Amino acid sequence: MPTALEALRRELEDAAAHLGRPHDLRFKPMFGGLMAWLDEKPCAWLGVDGMALKLAPADQPALLRLAGTSRLVARPGAPPSRHYIVLPAALSRDTVQLSGWLQKTAAAKHR
């Protein structure tokens, strides 16, 4: 596994541990990156563009107002994701902030 993906995985694991839920998080290699699940629901994509969290539409505007965030584009020419938001590196490294956003993704009712 590339070093960058290992670092992102550790950051997400730290956030889950901060929530007291390290055993509820699992990963699976997928499409050259890692898909993460929390409580058996997809919660994040870890790839070359960084960490992208899956958020409910109501939670997305607040995150998208933060500098450095963007909608995930899965491959060149694809439309931006309706659910996944790429985080700036500073946010993914901030365990407390990241755990707050991870809690929101865990609480969301995703379609």
- Fold type of domain 3-107: Yope Regulator; Chain: A, (3.30.1460)
For the ranges 3-7, 28-32, 94-98, the one whose mean pLDDT is highest: 94-98
Q: Kindly tell me if the per-residue pLDDT of 111 is higher than 60.
A: no
Q: How crowded is residue 105: how many other Cβ atoms within 10 Å of its Cβ?
A: 23
Q: Kindly tell me if the per-residue pLDDT of 2 is higher than 90.
A: no
102: left (phi over 0), alpha (psi -120 to 50) or beta: alpha
CB 35 within 8 A of CB 27: yes
Domain boundaries, the chain: 3-107
Phi, psi angles (nearest 5°) of residue 76 = -55, 135
Nearest to 46 by CA among 2, 109, 80, 108: 2
Q: Kindly tell me if the per-residue pLDDT of 74 is higher than 70.
A: yes
CB 101 within 8 A of CB 88: no
